[in-house]
Amino acid sequence: MSKSDAFLQAGKTAVLQNIHGTMQFLQRFPPFNQMENTHLAFLVEQCQLRFYGPGESIIRPTDGPVDHFYIVKQGRVVGERTHVGREDAETTFEITAGECFPLAALLGERATRTEHLAAEDTFCLQLNKPAFIKLFALSDEFRDFALRGVSSLLDKVNQQVQRKAVETLGTQYSLNTRLGELAMRHPVTCLPDTALREAVRLMHEQQVGSIVVVDGHKAPLGIFTLRDLRQVVASGIQDFAQTIDLYMTPGPFYLSPDHSAFDAAIAMTERHIAHVCLVKDQRLCGVVSERDLFSLQRVDLVHLARTIRHAPRLENLISLRGEIGQLVERMLAHGASSTQITHIITQLNDHTVCRVIELVLADRGDPGVPFSWLCFGSEGRREQTLHTDQDNGILFEARDATQAAEIRQRLLPIAQQINHHLAACGFTLCKGNVMAGNPELCLSRAEWARRFAAFIREATPENLLASSIYFDLRVVWGDEQGCQQLRRGILEQVADNRLFQRMMAANALRHSPPVGRFREFVLERKGSDKATLDLKVQGLTPFVDGARLLALAHGVEANNTLERLRQLVTQEVIEALDGAAYEEAYHFIQQTRMQQHQLQTRENRPYSNRVDPDSLNQLDRRILREALRQAQRLQSSLALRYQL
């Protein structure tokens, strides 16, 4: 070994000592904990460790295209964006140990849009751009992380949620699985002129419950299932030489192989079908049966929905309630997102409400007047969790006030019984009496319209609160037209009434998200809720209120908060980037809230929306803080828009 080699060698071992220490530090955080050791060592060897004192600028928009990738080793970095026409800068994010910046600017080869400042004594690992690019090419984990930025962190959380839930269930299967991976790859098919006998023989031989009837180009024309066969046999047909196209269900429902297992489960629930064809480029490429979905994942959603819809008596519905709770637990385990779960709960609740109404009508006889069952609030927005109050009403058509009063008298006893039956099924009676059995909420279309107009005209605090409940209305049972007309009326009046919008905006700023400018969280200081924050009121409500206001003001008909945000982006009321950030943040807070509820149920604790951030793991806590900061941003954009 020559001297210079020896020098190099000695240098290498020395490097390893401190590099090893830095690697150990990084390995506590994603994506570094998933990277190969050699890649991580490469990263660290190429790094410089820099120090920034409080208030010192790290990168700023005027520096030009970003040349370095930074990882916070210690301390805290804040992002500050200044708005045109405003003096003070807005803190848009906080970055703490283990987090990286500025990915978007670095990948976009542009300057940062936000000045990054050290909020306290801060050490950053600084990686030069050529090394970043090399690492990007070397490490898949690093590349994925860099490309997806914060979203990848959110995915990590979701995976973590799944892992945790899966542990209690001992199975690993995701509702997000592509149908293409689940389906029978060579579905049993036949041509439309195949004899019934021949088709049934094929099904029998292949041990399948369905056969897809296709044309010469493999495009599906119909489906014939065991259920159809039962009907054929029951109808007493003798001649099994007849062609199958006479007995198949034509125009079968289909999805693409890229749809998820969740999509298929929803379709089956909505349509009461047990088979979904998979079609790509107009050719049949698979069939997914209810059994394929549920034998694997044991999420018996379709079965549950069907049992609810056909429950013969109220007692059956009551006992099914517990199964919905178990279903939610299983769905979390199978990787369903909070959006999927609230969607499912809403759907099962809708089924329950419909069945209760049907049972009551069967019991008391038809009142002889058509009516629609309305729901408001979170139920109206399709954002229900398992713990839900009743917020409902009745809408009917009447010629005049006299007829309306007369119909009301006929409907009220029915409505009251429905309210009580729903309470028995676990829909808590509304403390504020926002229920159809209340004469003030069993109204004709004209009466509703007058009521809503008053809310908008006289923006008293009570009316503002009422509008935040009633304006998220939707029909659960009955004809939808009357409700449509009411909604259009609301939209027109709100769009015209700037004062009402402004009052609603002020109302939407009532609850400030619990993050401080320089502190992690601003928590309750006193009482039994000490050191906790309210995920619903302080986290979700700002998004719900903000989205409602902007939706009503811009003629967006959707009720669901995420749907409203998406349509507001399409209409360019809010920026696409902001919309995506709000959506992610809302989703995360909701997910955290549902996990808390599940945990409370499992530990037999009372249900609460309060959470102690210290009880969350580090990753969740960081993301929660960022999510709440997005709520804060939405509020300050409202304040700016309405000059509050």
Residue 178, CA atoms < 13 Å, CB-side half-sphere: 7
Closer residue to another protein, CB minimum distance, 21 or 439: 21
3-state SS, 315-344, equals HHHHHHHHHHHHHHHHHHHCCCCHHHHHHH
The window from 118-126, 172-180, 208-216, 508-516 that contacts another protein (CB under 8 A) reads 118-126
Cα(373)–Cα(354) distance, integer angstroms = 9
- Decide if residue 25 touches another protein (CB under 8 A): yes
Sign of the dihedral defined by the CA atoms of residues 116, 118, 119, 123, in that order? positive
| Exposed e or buried b per residue across 261-278, where buried means at least 16 C-beta atoms within 10 angstroms of its C-beta | bbbbbbbbbeeebbbbbb
- Decide if residue 294 touches another protein (CB under 8 A): no
Closer residue to another protein, CB minimum distance, 24 or 172: 24
Closer residue to another protein, CB minimum distance, 126 or 176: 126
- Decide if residue 39 touches another protein (CB under 8 A): no
Smallest gap from residue 13 Cβ to another protein (A): 7
Smallest gap from residue 297 Cβ to another protein (A): 44
Closer residue to another protein, CB minimum distance, 73 or 566: 73
Smallest gap from residue 113 Cβ to another protein (A): 25
Interface residue with another protein among 53, 108, 322, 516 (CB under 8 A) is 53
The window from 47-55, 166-174, 532-540, 565-573 that contacts another protein (CB under 8 A) reads 47-55
Smallest gap from residue 293 Cβ to another protein (A): 49
CA 197 to chain centre: 47
Total number of residues that touch another protein (CB under 8 A): 33
Distances (CA, A) of 385 to 160, 164, 561: 21, 20, 14
Cα(218)–Cα(62) distance, integer angstroms = 60
- Close Cβ partners of 187 (under 8 Å, ≥ 6 residues apart): 212, 277, 284, 285, 286, 287
Distances (CA, A) of 582 to 197, 289, 384, 543: 57, 36, 19, 8
- Decide if residue 130 touches another protein (CB under 8 A): no
Smallest gap from residue 456 Cβ to another protein (A): 55
Interface residue with another protein among 34, 39, 60, 74 (CB under 8 A) is 74
The window from 49-57, 219-227, 290-298, 299-307 that contacts another protein (CB under 8 A) reads 49-57
Closer residue to another protein, CB minimum distance, 7 or 607: 7
Phi first, then psi: what are they for 68, rounded to 5°?
-135, 155
Closest to 540 in 3D by CA, of 344, 348, 383: 383
Q: Which two tokens stand for residue 570?
A: 């399409």
- Decide if residue 47 touches another protein (CB under 8 A): yes
Element (H, E) at 476: strand 474-477
The structure tokens 């959470």 sit at 611
Closest to 496 in 3D by CA, of 421, 442, 554: 554
Closest to 114 in 3D by CA, of 633, 573, 628: 633
Q: Which two tokens stand for residue 96?
A: 């703490």
Smallest gap from residue 18 Cβ to another protein (A): 5
Smallest gap from residue 54 Cβ to another protein (A): 10
CA 252 to chain centre: 29
Smallest gap from residue 598 Cβ to another protein (A): 36
Cα(177)–Cα(262) distance, integer angstroms = 8
Question: Site residues for another protein, window 5-24 (CB under 8 A)?
Answer: 6-7, 10-11, 13-15, 17-22, 24
- Close Cβ partners of 526 (under 8 Å, ≥ 6 residues apart): none
Closer residue to another protein, CB minimum distance, 31 or 75: 75
Element (H, E) at 485: helix 481-496
Cα(509)–Cα(610) distance, integer angstroms = 20
Q: Is 182:263 a contact under the CB 8 Å cutoff?
A: no
Smallest gap from residue 471 Cβ to another protein (A): 51
Closer residue to another protein, CB minimum distance, 11 or 413: 11
- Decide if residue 164 touches another protein (CB under 8 A): no
The window from 1-9, 349-357, 395-403, 426-434 that contacts another protein (CB under 8 A) reads 1-9
The window from 52-60, 382-390, 464-472, 564-572 that contacts another protein (CB under 8 A) reads 52-60
Closer residue to another protein, CB minimum distance, 17 or 528: 17
- Close Cβ partners of 569 (under 8 Å, ≥ 6 residues apart): 575, 576, 579, 580
- Decide if residue 123 touches another protein (CB under 8 A): yes
- Decide if residue 126 touches another protein (CB under 8 A): yes
- Decide if residue 552 touches another protein (CB under 8 A): no
- Decide if residue 462 touches another protein (CB under 8 A): no
Smallest gap from residue 38 Cβ to another protein (A): 15
- Decide if residue 56 touches another protein (CB under 8 A): yes
The structure tokens 């149908």 sit at 179
Question: Site residues for another protein, window 349-408 (CB under 8 A)?
Answer: none
Cα(447)–Cα(392) distance, integer angstroms = 16
Smallest gap from residue 22 Cβ to another protein (A): 6
The window from 123-131, 337-345, 545-553, 579-587 that contacts another protein (CB under 8 A) reads 123-131
- Close Cβ partners of 102 (under 8 Å, ≥ 6 residues apart): 59, 66, 70, 112, 114, 116
Closer residue to another protein, CB minimum distance, 50 or 306: 50
Give residues in contact with another protein (CB under 8 A).
3, 6-7, 10-11, 13-15, 17-22, 24-25, 44-53, 56, 73-74, 121, 123, 125-126
